[in-house]
Amino acid sequence: MQVFRLYFKLLNRSLPTIVIYIIVFLVIVVGSSLNAKQNNEKMFKESKVDIAFINYDKNSAFIDGLKDYLGSRCNFKEIEDSKEAIQDALFFRNVSYIVTIPKDFTERFFDGEEVKVQKLSVPESTDSVFIDMAINNYFDKVKLYINHSQSLSEDEIVKSVMKDLSSEVEVEFYSKTAKEEDSSFLINYYNYIVYAMLSTLILGIGAIMISFTELDIRRRNIVTPLSITSFNLQQILGNITFTLGLDVILILFGFFLNGKVLVSQKSLLFILNAVIFSIVSLSIAYLVGILVKSREASNGVANVIGMGSCFISGVFVPKELLGENVLNIAKFTPAYWYTTTNEAVGKLTNHTLENYTGIFQNMLIQFGFAISFFAIALVISKKKSVEVI
């Protein structure tokens, strides 16, 4: 098993780079899952919009009432009151709406003047529609009281308006039984595996194959008493061991981060899908290893293929936000079918044959990719091997 041992000696050399890629992967996956919202709610929860409230008017009951009313719909955030700070906060969506009450607003409003509050928001956005609606609703009601019960003071009007505005409509989930267990973490984690799998395999296998294909080394290897079949088999065994080892590491990390080891039908499907994708990645890495001639080149290719797949196949950016054209292009990459399978597995609620057929079809498509990449690689390597040695 000299070749097999050599394989891992060579792999050892690129270990630092591989470890860096795995660490980057873990950082990204943990960061993104912290960001993702939990979806296992049992009760309806109102969405709140982050806004900033800047008041240049005096603290009147009228303005306090508005702030109270908005408080049930928004989170107020403190931001520095300078033009640049306000613009920055909006650009990076620290807040999505900034409302500014101008000076003497209360007085002029009660005098019946047509006054308006200043807003800074993402134009036409859903958030701004929502807040506009709330602000207009409050002012409309106050105006109505001003017009129709002249005898009331400002405080009394605000009090009545706040009383009127306290309606609560019941919101319920339409069917409580259909609530599925939350798989968003697992979907997210297994989707991100695309990045780790492609980059590490292309880098690791690329580096090893470049060492083997160097002309002098190839000449030396051919004159050994070891048969070419055994030589190749040992190399293939090395590749498979490396790939499966990576699978085991990544899957164990997944269980570790998830906090619980659950062996359910779902997690078995996730694992099966990941193993299949690792075989596809292996085939891509093998093909790249045959084509590139230097480590630098394989580094570049690993980055482009790894990140590219993640960007267009719904890993970094959810599929719903990708355009139709992009998705059509993505269908030519195996990563698309891998992530689609993950999402289907995550959504699996009832184990009907129909649901499984879709999942297994996607897995078969990935196999198809793997077979065609291997086939191309074999044709090219055959051509190369008959070149003058």
Partner 1 sequence: MAVQMYIIRIKCLLKDRANIFWTFLFPIILSTFFSMAFSNLYTSETFQSIKIGVVKNESYDNNEEFKSALKEASMSKDKDGSKLFHVTESSEEEAIKLLDENKIDGYIKMDDKIQFFVKTSGLNQTITKSFLESFEENINTVTTLASNNPGQLENIIDDLSDSSNYTEANSGSNPPDMTLNYYYALLAMACLYGANWGNKEITEIEADLSMKGARINISPMHKMKLLICNMLAAFTVHSIGIMLLLSYYIYGLKLDFSDNFNYVILTCLTGSILGISFGGMISAILRKKEVLKGAITSAVIMLGCFLAGLMIVQMKYIIALKAPLIQYINPAHLITDAFYSLYYYDTLDRFRLNIVLMIGYTVIFSIITYLVTRRRQYASI
From residue 62 to residue 81, the character string flagging contacts with partner 1 as x (rule: CB under 8 A) and all else as - is: -----------x--------
Distance (Å, rounded) from C-alpha 302 to C-alpha 334? 15
Distance (Å, rounded) from C-alpha 295 to C-alpha 50? 48
Distance (Å, rounded) from C-alpha 351 to C-alpha 159? 55
DSSP 264-275: -HHHHHHHHHHH
Q: Binding segment for partner 1 among 209-217, 263-271, 302-310, 363-371 (CB under 8 A)?
A: 302-310
**Would you count residue 34 as binding partner 1 (CB under 8 A)?**
no
Closest CB to partner 1 among 4 and 110?
Answer: 110
**Would you count residue 375 as binding partner 1 (CB under 8 A)?**
no
DSSP 39-60: ---SS-----EEEEEEE-S---
Closest CB to partner 1 among 296 and 354?
Answer: 296
Q: Binding segment for partner 1 among 86-94, 266-274, 278-286, 374-382 (CB under 8 A)?
A: 86-94
Q: Binding segment for partner 1 among 82-90, 343-351, 363-371, 377-385 (CB under 8 A)?
A: 82-90
Strands 74-76 and 97-101: unpaired
Q: How far is the CB of 122 from partner 1 (least distance, A)?
A: 6
Q: Binding segment for partner 1 among 198-206, 233-241, 299-307, 358-366 (CB under 8 A)?
A: 299-307
The residue type at 387: E
Closest CB to partner 1 among 13 and 383?
Answer: 13
- What's the Rg (C-alpha) of the chain? 30
Q: Binding segment for partner 1 among 41-49, 185-193, 240-248, 361-369 (CB under 8 A)?
A: 41-49
Q: How far is the CB of 388 from partner 1 (least distance, A)?
A: 25
Residue numbers 318-357 binding partner 1 by CB under 8 A: 321-323, 326, 329
**Would you count residue 211 as binding partner 1 (CB under 8 A)?**
no
**Which of 19, 41, 113, 181 touches partner 1 (CB under 8 A)?**
41
Closest CB to partner 1 among 300 and 358?
Answer: 300
- Region class of 100: left (phi > 0), else alpha (psi between -120 and 50), else beta: beta
Handedness of CA 116, 121, 126, 127 (dihedral sign): negative
Closest CB to partner 1 among 88 and 214?
Answer: 88
Closest CB to partner 1 among 177 and 229?
Answer: 177
Total number of residues binding partner 1 (CB under 8 A)? 85
Q: Binding segment for partner 1 among 2-10, 315-323, 332-340, 366-374 (CB under 8 A)?
A: 315-323
Residue 41 tokens, joined: 């709610």
Closest CB to partner 1 among 258 and 303?
Answer: 303
Distance (Å, rounded) from C-alpha 16 to C-alpha 10? 12
Residue numbers 148-187 binding partner 1 by CB under 8 A: 148-149, 160-161, 163-175, 178
Buried b / exposed e over 284-302, threshold 16 CB at 10 Å, is bbbbbbbbbeeeeebbebb
Upper half-sphere CA count for residue 96 (Cβ side, 13 Å): 17
Instruction: Count CB atoms within 10 A of the CB of residue 85.
Output: 13
Q: How far is the CB of 4 from partner 1 (least distance, A)?
A: 28
Which residue, chain included where needed, has tokens 């309606």? Answer: 167
- 3-state SS record for 65-84: HHHHHHHCCEEECCCCCCHH
**Which of 12, 59, 75, 118 touches partner 1 (CB under 8 A)?**
118
Closest CB to partner 1 among 132 and 272?
Answer: 132
Handedness of CA 328, 333, 337, 343 (dihedral sign): negative
Distance (Å, rounded) from C-alpha 140 to C-alpha 126? 21
Distance (Å, rounded) from C-alpha 292 to C-alpha 269? 34
Please give the DSSP secondary-structure letter assigned to residue 293. Answer: -
**Would you count residue 135 as binding partner 1 (CB under 8 A)?**
yes
Q: Binding segment for partner 1 among 4-12, 142-150, 222-230, 267-275 (CB under 8 A)?
A: 142-150
Q: How far is the CB of 168 from partner 1 (least distance, A)?
A: 7
